[in-house]
Amino acid sequence: MAKIKLSLSTPIMESFRVAAIRGKFDLPEVNESKFNLDIDFPLEDYPDWKIGAIVGASGSGKTRLAEHVYGKTPPIPWHSDRAFIDEFEPSLDIGEIIGALSSVGFSSIPCYLQPFNTLSVGQAYRAVIARHLLMAKNEIILDEFTSNVDRVVAKGISVALSKWSKNQPGKKIIVISCHKDILPWLEPDWVLDLDQQEFRWRSYKRPKTQLRIYQSD
């Protein structure tokens, strides 16, 4: 069984305020902050997985762990002098771009014609995810997943992304999030929970949705 053993340290620079914080909150006098992780990560047991989730509270080491396993994801450049849909690779069909944007809940077609810097925070976040999804790489890391949208929208994005991933041969998606409410809607093949220091294979079922239809005028 594969394991992840990760030990990281960050130096603490001495200053008057650092000393004041130590004294106020009775913190030990150490010259570095340490992060240690020793956890099972048996992805080789089921190599055909499509989507996984790394979850945990802020500061639990989610991003560091993902960078340790998969490497850093470089930032995506955007320009202010063109419609943001023109930022996608020229080889992509317009239908692929629309499909990826729809899969992350960005369906406001008129906004596709705007530059990236004019989009709302939520729209910009969806555009970034869609562009990551269409990049020519097998492992897609989506950090801070759904952090910039409300929780109802987050669940909708999770459902759409889950469906999208099933029709993408060879691609694996890893979402990183401090929000665990998305898990039943995302239905990941595996979850690495840093709060519980636990890895588990798929154990979520999407909640049932009740639909009521009323006659109106």
Could you list the beta-strand ranges (E) of 56-186: 139-142, 172-177
Is residue 101 within 8 Å of 93, Cβ to Cβ?
no
What is the pLDDT at residue 51?
93
- The pLDDT tens digits along the chain (217 residues) read 477 777 777 899 999 999 999 999 998 888 888 878 788 888 888 888 999 999 999 888 888 888 888 888 888 899 999 999 999 999 999 999 998 998 888 989 999 999 999 999 889 988 998 998 888 678 899 998 988 888 888 888 898 888 888 888 888 999 999 999 999 999 999 999 988 888 888 866 677 778 899 999 8
Distance CA 51, CA 191 (A): 9
Residue type, 35: F
Number of Cβ atoms within 10 Å of the Cβ of 87: 16
Residue 47 CB-half CA count within 13 A: 2
To which H or E segment does residue 54 belong? strand 51-55
What is the pLDDT at residue 142?
92
pTM of the model as a whole: 0.80
Is residue 138 within 8 Å of 106, Cβ to Cβ?
no
Is residue 183 within 8 Å of 55, Cβ to Cβ?
yes
What is the pLDDT at residue 173?
92
What is the pLDDT at residue 204?
64
What is the pLDDT at residue 4?
76
β-pair type (172-177, 51-55): parallel
């759904």: which residue's tokens? 146
What is the pLDDT at residue 188?
93
